[in-house]
Structure 1
Amino acid sequence: MKIVFMGTPDFARSALEKIIEAGHEVVLAVTQPDKPKGRSGELQISDVKACALEHGIPVFQPVRIRLPENVEELKKYDADIYVVAAFGQILSQEILDIPKFGCVNIHASILPEYRGAAPIQQAIIDGKKTTGVTIMQMAAGMDTGDILLQREIPITDDETGGGLFDKLSVLGGELIVEALPKIEAGELTPVPQDEERATKCGKLSKDMGRIDFEQDAEDIRNLVRGLNPWPSAFTYLGNKMLKIWQARTLSEIDFQRLAKDYSELSGKSAETAANSQPGAIALLTRDSFVVNCGSDYLQILEVQLEGKKRMDVKSFLLGNKLEVGTILK
């Protein structure tokens, strides 16, 4: 089929590459305008633009895709279908109606759960055990269109937002390649979404990463996993930001066992401050520190102090003095 592909980040690039490999004719790649990066302000092209240029595909970068002149530009390419993946702009009904087979979206959740901008990270933050990809016939609402094809995968206990992003990028590419010939042959039956089961998720922001130690330890661990690598979960040690990159949940029994094991290995009694206020360091070992939470404990394994490199806690403790009872805020 002749395809107009709309997308911007690396999640979309994976799908575009799979579509090209499958032999479809991509007549145009539509992506966000180049954006300045870093202090130099040098313009950076999107992952989709980079991929399109590598394959000799024309690129269109409208600031607002819905403007009449941009709609007319799209019509010039006479595509059979538009494939959209993390494009970053809302398509008007006029655009949705242009191609013969309409517009389909590659969405990184099992719709109707997690409509919106950050379904991958939110699934981990919420402690979900599974997620997946949906190929959806686009409608005017936000991720409200009929479901054409879905595939589910497990979320492992140590999964991070970055790791799951990579897995779903690959799955999205595989699923759209499977869906396209079936769409052309009329072999997929659109299934309306169950509005009663619909949930939404917003964009990621740096503020989301601020840890509230009044929460359950497992909820905090899920936040750490979901926001790794961006925007990252963080707290403050004194007046410096401390990013938490890896952590483990400990029950009361786990906590007492860790303290006992540390005492036996080190030959000295472990100083503890169990059941003190949330955010207080309750135990120090050679390679971790444990923080009181609203429920259970959080064992911190990998950190990054403001202005420093990311490192395991064993290395961190060699250069930074912590004490049991120190409060993280």
Structure 2
Amino acid sequence: MLAKQYAIPLFIITKKNSSDQIKQIINISGADAVFTMTFPWKISAEIIDLYPGKFYNFHYGFLPEMRGADPVFETIRSRAGQSGITVHAIDQYIDKGNIILKKKIPVTADMTHGALCTHLSWLGADLLNELLNLLQSHFKGTKQDESQAQYYPKPGASDVCISWEKQDAEDIEALTRACNPWNKGAYTQWKGWNIRVVEATAVQNVNDHTGFPGTILTLDKENGLIVKCTHNSYLRLDIVYTEEGFMSGYKLSAFGLKKGGQFLNL
């Protein structure tokens, strides 16, 4: 509806027919350049050879340090203080083309995966005029420094699970933000019941320090649901998600969780 309102041609691309559909788009539009942003599939070698120097990607992270399908996840999980967009030429290798333009933004300690993606999309829109000027001046970009290259695959099951005995409170808090909203939080488990931690806060003043990492130290409305983590750190589970819905952490008491209970290390 938005595309129709502004008379913008809209094409729904499928993986199976993407090459033919991209040809159609270019032939109809007569585009001088094609930009991809969070595009899920690799542009085929056939298309790259047919339209050399025409395709550019808006990568949501720094290159070559943050190659991969979801650099936003790794940026938040690792508590990096900044992120940005790298616009690079698309060639036959994923995330390895010449860098045309790179812009940075700070990553605050409360940013979720969704929030950072939104900020990066705004950044991408803001740098478009500068990018177009560079391309119109026939700027070919600079080669990436392979000695700085790091590749991060798409997060798997083990990446989104909490290990109370290996991760401290700040690490787990960062993981929950890295999983919010696309995974509805980071996984933990209690007696075979999957619970996802959506929002959490590292806390300092805890009276009860007993138990192994993963032990529930408090579970009431006044103090919330506080869990012991490694290195004698403590995390309050503010919002959780289960199949029963989103709820405050302390409300898990209605399902049988009690002080002294133990979350499983995944």
Give the TM-score band, short-chain normalised.
Answer: 0.7 to 0.9
Matched, 1:64 2:16: yes
Contact 1:108 1:133 in 2 (8 A): yes
Q: Where do 1:121-160 residues align within 5 Å?
A: 121-160=73-112
Residue of structure 2 equivalent to 1:190: 141
Is 1:298 the counterpart of 2:237 in the alignment?
A: no
Match of 1:79 in 2: 31
Match for 1:306: what amino acid?
Answer: T
Aligned partners of 1:321 and 1:92: how far apart in 2? 53
Three-state SS of the structure 1 residue aligned to 2:214 is coil
Contact kept? 1:284, 1:323, Cα under 8 Å = yes
Q: What are the superposed Cα offsets for residues 115-166 of structure 1, whole Å, 9 maximum, x if unpaired?
A: 1211111110112111100111112111001111111111111111111111
Q: How many residues align?
A: 259
Counterparts of residues 48-127 of structure 1 (less than 5 Å): 52-54=3-5, 55-59=7-11, 61-64=13-16, 69=20, 73=24, 76-77=27-28, 78-99=30-51, 101-127=53-79
- TM-aligned CA distance change 1:206 to 1:177, over 3 Å: farther
1:327 match: 262
Contact 1:281–1:326 under 8 Å retained in 2: yes
The Cα of 1:61 is off from its aligned counterpart by 2.2
Residue in structure 2 matched with residue 211 of structure 1 by the alignment: 162
Counterpart of 2:94 in 1: which secondary structure? coil
For 1:165, give the aligned amino acid: C
Aligned-partner SS, 1:295: helix
Deviation at 1:108, TM superposition (A): 0.4
Q: Secondary structure at the match of 1:87?
A: coil
Q: Structure 1 residue 320: deviation in Å?
A: 4.7
| Distance across 1 between alignment mates of 2:71 and 2:248 | 29
Contact 2:225–2:238, Cα closer than 8 Å, also in 1: no
Aligned twin of 2:189: 236
* Residue of 254, 275, 279 corresponding to 2:214: 279
Higher mean alpha-carbon deviation, 161-170 vs 91-100, is at 91-100
CA distance in 2, matches of 1:92, 1:197: 26
Per the TM alignment, residue 327 of structure 1 is displaced from its structure 2 partner at its CA by 0.4
Task: Kindly state the Cα deviation for residue 214 of structure 1 after the two structures are TM-superposed.
Answer: 1.6
CA deviation vs aligned residue, 1:87-140 (integer Å, no higher than 9, x gap)? 211113331244464211111001112212111111101121111001111121
> Which amino acid in structure 2 is aligned with residue 325 of structure 1?
G
Structure 1 ranges of 4+ moved more than 6 A: none
Separation in 2, partners of 1:75, 1:132: 28
Structure 2 residue ranges without an equivalent (≥5): none
**Shift of the alpha carbon at 1:249?**
2.5
Question: Do the aligned partners of residues 247 and 71 (structure 1) sit closer, same or farther apart at CA in structure 2, a change above 3 Å counting?
Answer: closer
The 8 Å contact of residues 287 and 313 in structure 1, kept in 2 or not, is answered as no
Please, which runs of 5 or more residues in structure 1 have no aligned partner?
1-49, 260-271
**1:44-99: per-residue Cα shift (whole Å, max 9, x none)?**
xxxxxx654553405252433575x5575456344211111122111133312444
Distance 2:249 2:241 in 1: 11
Distance change (3 Å), C-alpha of 1:146 and 1:289: same
Contact kept in structure 2, 1:93 and 1:140, CA below 8 Å: yes
